[in-house]
Chain A
Amino acid sequence: MDTTLDGNAAAGALGDVFAFDVTMAMTTCATCGDRRPVAELRAYMDAPGIILRCASCSATQLRLVRAGDRAWLDLRGIQVLEIHGPAPAG
């Protein structure tokens, strides 16, 4: 049976640690090179914290664990995070 969600479901929790909507950002998987937005990674929300996995090769892309006012963010599975937004002023 399907039990996975996708990165859309993690938008609220990720919004606590990123100052922008990171679900829109484009990831490149460090393992297989697959490119897709964070919103379309596979999400496992039942772990102690949140795990996002590559939709192509299942490698862990992002882990977010929180305890009280601290958060641990492990992004080693993402080779590049491409963020689109307004160009910096100046």
Chain B
Amino acid sequence: MRWLVATVAETIPETARAVTLRLDVPDWPGHRAGQHVDVRLTADDGYQAQRSYSIASPPDSERLELTVERIDDGEVSPYLTTVADVGDQFELRGPVGGWFVWDAADDAPVLLVGGGSGVVPLRAMLHHHAASGSTAAMHLVQSARTLGDVIYRQELEALVGPRRALTVTLTRESPPDWGGHRGRVDAGLLAEVGWPPSAQPHCYVCGPTGFVETVADALVELGHEPRRIRTERFGPTGG
């Protein structure tokens, strides 16, 4: 697959650690909601570092968007989150990955569960759901450590409607007047806010490896069929 040159058109701070990069990518072939790209940075001495990032924007968006969380000792994310500015260029290739993808033509209910920046590909699915006029019911359960760590907070709240629901849970600290959930995503929370297995929802789980394992196990424990649960994991090596 060919490497393409991306030019930063805009940078949008999302949280203290996460930044959305809006990119101009000539010849971008289009993508499906949930796919990702490989980003490659080349240093002046020729050293190259490569990482995989989920695409944050839906298929019909004007520009390709990546939301990147800074990993302090990472090789790629510190550049993308703190150095890259409007006009800067880097290489990417994609879209890649056909597994963790939601298709708007499928009208089965959809449960999205995102931990931290695991919400990024799920954001693409929610926007795609809204733009496509899908009749499927879609519910995002978003987990973050603190309110300040919730990526896309106001944006996703604005997407809530008759067929789109949002549940946010804060795992580490929450304001006294916090009206959402507290604590980690577990079988109790999923049973309370998710669909019953009899509704046969598609489940998409994305986040750090431990988060994904816990949530996928909880869904199976509740009776969801493993084949309806799709997962995407990332760790600090994703930096």
A residues neighboring B (CB under 8 Å): 1-9, 11-13, 15-16, 21, 23-24, 37-40, 45-46
Contact = CB atoms under 8 A, between A and B. Distances in A.
A46 B50 CA distance: 10
26 contacts: A1-B236, A2-B208, A4-B233, A5-B209, A5-B235, A5-B237, A5-B238, A9-B36, A9-B234, A11-B36, A11-B52, A11-B96, A11-B98, A12-B1, A12-B38, A21-B97, A21-B98, A21-B99, A23-B97, A24-B99, A39-B100, A39-B232, A40-B99, A40-B230, A40-B231, A46-B237
Given A3-B237, A8-B99, 6 more contacts: A9-B238, A11-B52, A12-B1, A15-B96, A37-B99, A39-B100
Contact of A3 (B94, B100, B236): B236
A12 B208 contact: no
Nearest to B101: A24
B93 A23 contact: no
A55 to B, nearest CB: 9
A25 B220 CA distance: 22
A7 to B, nearest CB: 8
B1 A4 contact: no
Contacts of A12: 1, 37-38, 52, 93-94, 96
B209 A8 contact: no
A8 B106 CA distance: 22
A5 to B, nearest CB: 6
Contacts of A38: 99
Chain B contact-residue range equals 20 to 34
Contacts of A4: 209, 233, 235, 237
Contacts of A6: 209, 231-233
Contacts of B98: 11, 21, 23-24
Query: Which interface residue of B38, B99, B100, B208 has the most chain A CB atoms within 10 A?
Result: B99
Contacts of A7: 99
Contacts of A3: 235-237
Nearest to B229: A40
Contacts of B209: 2, 4-6
Contacts of B210: 2
A84 B170 CA distance: 40
A16 B37 CA distance: 14
Contact of A45 (B37, B99, B231, B237): B237
A46 to B, nearest CB: 6
Contacts of B94: 12
A15 B35 CA distance: 14
Contacts of A8: 36, 52, 97, 99-100, 232-233
Contacts of A24: 98-99
